[in-house]
Amino acid sequence: MRYKVDFLVIGSGIAGLSYALKVAQYGKVCMLTKADASESSTKYAQGGIAAVMYSPDSYEKHIKDTLIAGAGLCDENAVRITITESTERIKELIQWGANFDKKNTGAFDLAKEGGHSEFRILHHQDNTGFEIERALLEKARLHPNIEIKENHFTIDLLTQHHLGEEVTKRRGDIKCFGAYVMDKTSKTIDTYLAKITMLCTGGLGNVYNTTTNPIIATGDGCAMVHRAKGVLQDMEFIQFHPTSLYNPAEKPSFLITEAMRGAGGILKTANGVAFMEKYDKRKELAPRDIVTRAIDSEMKYRGEDYVYLDCRQIDKNEIMHHFPNIYAKCLEIGINITKDMIPVVPAAHFSCGGIKVNENAQSTIENLYASGECSFTGLHGANRLASNSLLESLVYSHRAFINSIQKVKMAEFCDNIPDWNDDGMVLNEEISLVTQTEKELQLIMSNYVGIIRSDLRLKRAFDRIGLIYKETENLYKQSVLTPKLCELRNLIANSYLIIKMAMQRKESIGLHYSTDYPNRS
Ligand code: FAD
Ligand code: SIN
Residue 327 sits in a domain whose CATH number is 3.90.700.10
Question: What pLDDT was estimated at residue 385?
Answer: 95
Per the domain annotation, does 330 fall within a domain?
yes
Mean pLDDT of 396-409: 98
Per the domain annotation, does 419 fall within a domain?
no
**Ligand 1: which of 30, 40, 151 to mutate, judged by most atoms within 8 Å of the beta carbon?**
40
Please name the residues in contact with 394: beta carbons below 8 A apart, sequence gap of 6 or more: 14, 15, 18, 49, 89, 90, 92, 93
Question: What pLDDT was estimated at residue 122?
Answer: 98
**Ligand 2: which of 40, 42, 46 to mutate, judged by most atoms within 8 Å of the beta carbon?**
46
Same domain, yes or no, for 118 and 209? yes
Same domain, yes or no, for 223 and 210? yes
Output the residue whose Cα is nearest ligand 1's atom 53.
Answer: 202
Number of domains observed in the structure of the chain: 3
Per the domain annotation, does 422 fall within a domain?
no
Distance 255 CA to ligand 2 centre (A): 8
Same domain, yes or no, for 403 and 386? yes
Question: Across-strand partners of 376?
Answer: 356
Question: Across-strand partners of 3?
Answer: 192
Q: What domain range is 55 assigned to?
A: 2-236+352-410
Q: pLDDT digits over 30-41, tens only?
A: 999 999 999 999
Rounded to whole angstroms, how far apart are CA atoms 416 and 175?
A: 14
Single residue among 315, 347, 379 that ends a domain in this structure: 347
Kindly state the greatest CA–CA separation across the chain.
68
Distance 80 CA to ligand 2 centre (A): 21
- Number of the ligand 2 atom closest to the C-alpha atom of 47: 2
- Number of the ligand 1 atom closest to the C-alpha atom of 213: 36
Question: What pLDDT was estimated at residue 442?
Answer: 98
Query: Which of 26-30, 169-173, 179-183, 267-271 shows the lowest mean pLDDT across its residues?
Result: 169-173
Q: How confident is the model at residue 428 (pLDDT cuts 50, 70, 90)?
A: low
Per the domain annotation, does 150 fall within a domain?
yes
Instruction: Inform me whether the pLDDT recorded for 426 exceeds 70.
Output: no
User: Is 312 a catalytic site residue?
Assistant: no
Per the domain annotation, does 415 fall within a domain?
no
Distance 316 CA to ligand 1 centre (A): 31
Same domain, yes or no, for 391 and 338? no
Please name the residues in contact with 498: beta carbons below 8 A apart, sequence gap of 6 or more: 207, 235, 236, 238, 445, 449
